Amino acid sequence: MMRSMYSGVSGLKVHQTKMDVIGNNISNVNTIGFKGSKVTFSEVFSQTVRGASAPNAGIGGTNPQQIGLGASIGSIDVIHTKGSAQRTDNPTDLMIDGNGFFVLSNDANGQNRVYTRAGNFNVDKEGNLVASNGWKVLDGDMKPIQINKSKTAPAVATSGFRIKGNINSNDESYSTSVDIYDSIGDVHKLQVNIGKTYNTATTEGTQYMYREIEIKDENGNVLIPTTSAGNSTDQVYIRFNAKGEFDSIRRNLSAAPAAPDYEITTTGGSATGLGDPLTSTTAHDGNGDFTLSYPGVNPIKLTLGDAVFTDADSNKILSQTSQTSDAKGVPNDGLSPGTIESFTISDKGEVIAKYTNGTTETLATLGLADFDNPAGLRKTGSNFFVDTANSGTAKLGTPATGSFGALAPGALEMSNVDLSQEFTDMITTQRGFQANSKVISTSDEILQELVNLKR
Taking alpha carbons only, the member of 376, 404, 368, 369 closest to residue 392 is: 376
The amino acid that residue 146 corresponds to is: Q
Contact at 8 Å (CB) between 318 and 165? yes
Contact at 8 Å (CB) between 412 and 378? no
- Kindly tell me if the per-residue pLDDT of 287 is higher than 80: no
Phi, psi of 19 (to 5 degrees): -65, -35
pLDDT tens column, 396-421: 999 999 999 999 999 999 999 999 99
pLDDT class of 110 with cuts at 50, 70, 90: confident
Identify the pLDDT of residue 200.
64
Taking alpha carbons only, the member of 217, 153, 225 closest to residue 185 is: 153
Identify the pLDDT of residue 294.
87
Identify the pLDDT of residue 212.
87
- Kindly tell me if the per-residue pLDDT of 269 is higher than 60: no
What residues pair up with 180 in beta bridges, in sequence order? 188
- Kindly tell me if the per-residue pLDDT of 266 is higher than 90: no
Which residues does 438 contact at the CB level (< 8 Å), separation at least 6? 8
Kindly compute the dihedral angle of the four CA atoms of residues 61, 65, 71, 72, in this order, to the nearest 10 degrees: -70
The amino acid that residue 251 corresponds to is: R
Contact at 8 Å (CB) between 361 and 355? yes
Contact at 8 Å (CB) between 101 and 375? no
Three-state SS for 251? strand
Mean pLDDT of the 293-319 span: 91
pLDDT class of 451 with cuts at 50, 70, 90: confident
Phi-psi region of 245 (alpha: psi -120 to 50; beta: other; left: phi over 0): beta
pLDDT class of 241 with cuts at 50, 70, 90: confident
Contact at 8 Å (CB) between 419 and 26? yes
Distance CA 14, CA 310 (A): 80
Phi, psi of 243 (to 5 degrees): -90, 0
In what helix (H) or strand (E) does residue 5 lie, and over which residues does it extend? helix 3-27
Which residues does 368 contact at the CB level (< 8 Å), separation at least 6? 96, 100, 101, 102, 103, 349, 396, 397, 398, 399, 404, 405
CATH of 161-331, one of 1.10.1660, 3.40.190, 2.60.98, 1.10.1740: 2.60.98
- Residue with the bigger pLDDT between 265 and 361: it is 361
Mean pLDDT of the 170-193 span: 93
Which residues does 219 contact at the CB level (< 8 Å), separation at least 6? none
pLDDT tens column, 373-401: 999 999 999 999 999 999 999 999 999 99
Three-state SS for 411? strand
pLDDT tens column, 114-149: 999 999 999 999 999 999 999 999 999 999 999 988
Contact at 8 Å (CB) between 56 and 74? no
Identify the pLDDT of residue 282.
30
- Kindly tell me if the per-residue pLDDT of 76 is higher than 90: yes
Q: How confident is the prediction for the chain on average, in pLDDT?
A: 86
Phi, psi of 388 (to 5 degrees): -135, 180
pLDDT tens column, 422-443: 999 999 999 999 999 999 999 8
Identify the pLDDT of residue 446.
87
Predicted TM-score (pTM) of this structure: 0.73
pLDDT tens column, 323-337: 999 999 999 999 999
- The CATH 2.60.98 domain(s) of the chain lie at 161-331
Mean pLDDT of the 91-100 span: 95
Identify the pLDDT of residue 138.
96
Taking alpha carbons only, the member of 290, 289, 295, 301 closest to residue 157 is: 301
Task: Give the count of alpha carbons within 13 A of 323, CB side only.
Answer: 11
- Residue with the bigger pLDDT between 251 and 358: it is 358
